[in-house]
Structure formats: structure tokens, C-alpha cells
Structure 1
């Protein structure tokens, strides 16, 4: 075989298209191994802090103790682990792979919205508890008010509170911790959703053929 024929064969091999880079890898399937444990850790942390808040006063409402947000993030992380374990197929030829990626994207988006909602509630209640001017013990309950000199000022009753100081100090700290945890949770969910979207819609090979069939020039966009 002559030198010219060898060079021609090399050119044909190079022009057939871009060589598959890390064909056995799927960044959309492997990255959840990083995102999912963070979601699980943050979800458990949010739930634990919420149950600690219930220990301060069982009368706290669900929006004040967002254990539900932590549980939802734990479920999102489980889907991420499942997505990592599924055998990768190019072009999403595996139906289960496509369903899991779509479900993970949707759940990450929902988790982002929920985290922002929890931050709004926690910020409101943090501002409220930090502005209490007076808290008095009434039996097993603790009654707090924003302005003790105003006879028609709104009062807040925390039932079965062990100490009023736990309302004005400990509960305030818990609200602040919830803001920080849910901010981190929102960022992680946003990263997970962006990775799924980028892998599905932004990086792909269109297979456009330019020129004659002999040259086989391909373009990647």
C-alpha cells in the first residue's frame, strides 16, 4: 500500500465525524453523583432543624417548620441516585433514562421554588420574632407582642413553650439557619436543573454534512 493511499485512508477516518469523547460517560448521569448527596445532606438538615423548632413549641405552623421541604429534597436526591445507576445510552435511547432525567429536572425545579418559598416564610418569621418587645409566661404558654404599650397590638401565643427566652433567641436562630440552608438548597437545585437542561439541549451533535460525500466534513454546534 502506497504512502498516498495511507494518507487518504487517514483523511477519510478523520472526516467521518468527531471521535466520541468519553463515550462511556454521561455528564448528565454522572454529575447527579455530586448534586444528589448535597441535596440529601441539605434536605436532612432542613428537616432536622424543623423538628428542633417543633420541640421549642408544638404550636408552630407548617410554614414555620418546613420539614416538608427537607423531605421533598431527600426524594429528589433519591431520583438523582437512581439516574446515576441507570446504564447510559447515547441519544437517550433508553426510555427509563429519559424518564428519570425528565423527572429529575422537574423535581429540581420544584425544589428550587419550594426553597425560595421557605426562605420567604423564614425571613418573615425571623423579622417578626426578632422584633418582639415583650414575652410573658402564661401557664405553659408564652405570649409575645410587638408593642406592649399598644392595647390592641397583635399578640402571638406559643403553646407549651418551656421558656420565653427560647422564643426570642433560640427560635430566631433557627429561622436564620433555615434561611441559610434553604438558600444553599435552592442553589443546588438550580445547578441540578441547569445541568440536565444543558446536557439535553445545549451540547449535541447535529450531523450536518457539508460538501461532497467523499470529503464527509461534519460540523459540531
Structure 2
């Protein structure tokens, strides 16, 4: 009888270890996907960089349009990173049993998706304005700078940049800023895509496999 009880207790211990080991591995995976600290830091740095470059562009001339100085995109990414830091600080509960945890994760996923779309939009704007500015022929006019795409066409559209006495700020400096915006927002779009993919993978890229042990049916998350 003693040996039988000992054998049954060993079987129970072995079954308990088998049941516990997947949950520990899954908990480790959840912590990696659950706390996007590195992603939030990169979003904050890139958002600040985009905002700073946009205000430097705006300092060249007040005539620049909002789509040419995308400080709004950098500010939005800073807000996304703040939600990521909040997500890092929220206490983890298995299977999203906390409503705060679920709301913050859903909000972070949605904001990462929005940040991806905004970054791609800024890249499109910056690419268009970079190509346009590289074709400018500019000449000073009092305290302004007049630029046109074809100086020999009398009815060609003329772009007036107020407060620019040196046209090289348009043809060189502004051109460089557009290129920086393209690079920064491409990196920003990639980081947002990574953040959204991490959240999606943790939430949906799981499935359940039924493993029958003896006469008991045990379900483990894979």
C-alpha cells in the first residue's frame, strides 16, 4: 500500500509539473509581448525628432503648410509612446481578466495602427515636397523668396516664401529637412508596425491543443 500511495503521489507531482510548465513559458512570452518598453522608447525618441525637425522647418518661413511641417505626426507618436509606458506599468493578469489591462492594450494597438498610417502619410507628403523643392528655381524679392518650377514659363505657378531673404534656405536647407522627415517617418512607421504586430500576436496568434493524459483531458495554451 505504501508503494502504491508513493507511486500515485509521484504521478500527481509529475502531472502538476506538466501542467505548470506551459503556463510558466506562456507567462514569459506574455511578459515579452505585454511590456513594449523598447518600442515605446523608440516611438518617443522618433516622435520628438520629427517634432523638432518640423519646427525647424517652420522657422525657415511661416508660409510653409501644415503638411510640409508634420509636427502633428511627432506629437501623436509621443502620445502613443505614453500609452506604451502605461501599458508597461499596468499589472499583468492572465487571460486579460483586468478591464484596465484590456482597455490599455486595445488602445495601444489602435494607436500604433493610427501611427503607422500617419507616418506613411507624412512620408508621402515629404517625398512629394522633396521632389517639388528639388525642381525649384528661386530668386529673392525684397524680404521674400519667389520660386517657380519653370522660370521660362510666364504662367507657371509661383511659390512665395515669406521672411526668407536667402533662397538657399529653400533650395538646400528645406530640401534636407524634407529628406530627414522621410527617413524619420519611415523608421517611425516600422516601429509602429512592430508594436501593432506584437500586440496582435499576443492576442490572436494563439490556438488551443487538446492533450489527453490517462483518463483526464488537459488543455494547454500553445
Q: What TM-score, normalized by structure 1, do the two folds share?
A: 0.90
Of 107, 112, 123, the match for 1:108: 112
Of 5, 8, 12, the match for 2:8: 5
Of 2, 19, 23, the match for 1:20: 23
SS in 2 for 1:78: helix
Segments of 5+ residues of structure 1 without an aligned counterpart are none
Segments of 5+ residues of structure 2 without an aligned counterpart are none
Tell me how far 1:148 sits from its aligned partner. 0.8
Q: For 1:155-208, what per-residue CA distance to the aligned partner results, in whole angstroms no more than 9, with x for missing partners?
A: 11111113101000000000000000000000000000000000001135x373
**2:134 maps to which residue?**
130
* 8 Å contact kept, 2:22–2:220: no
Residue pairs, 1:140-219, within 5 angstroms: 140-203=143-206, 206=208, 208=210, 210=212, 214-219=215-220
Q: What TM-score, normalized by structure 2, do the two folds share?
A: 0.90
* 8 Å contact kept, 2:51–2:73: yes
**1:29 maps to which residue?**
34
Aligned length: 217
Tell me how far 1:153 sits from its aligned partner. 1.2
Of 77, 82, 98, the match for 2:81: 77
Query: Which is richer in helix?
Result: 2
SS in 2 for 1:210: strand
Alpha-carbon separation, structure 2, partners of 1:59 and 1:12: 72
Q: For 1:38-92, what per-residue CA distance to the aligned partner results, in whole angstroms no more than 9, with x for missing partners?
A: 0000000000000000111111000000000000000000000000001000000
Alpha-carbon separation, structure 1, partners of 2:119 and 2:189: 5
Alpha-carbon separation, structure 2, partners of 1:104 and 1:8: 44
* 8 Å contact kept, 2:113–2:193: yes
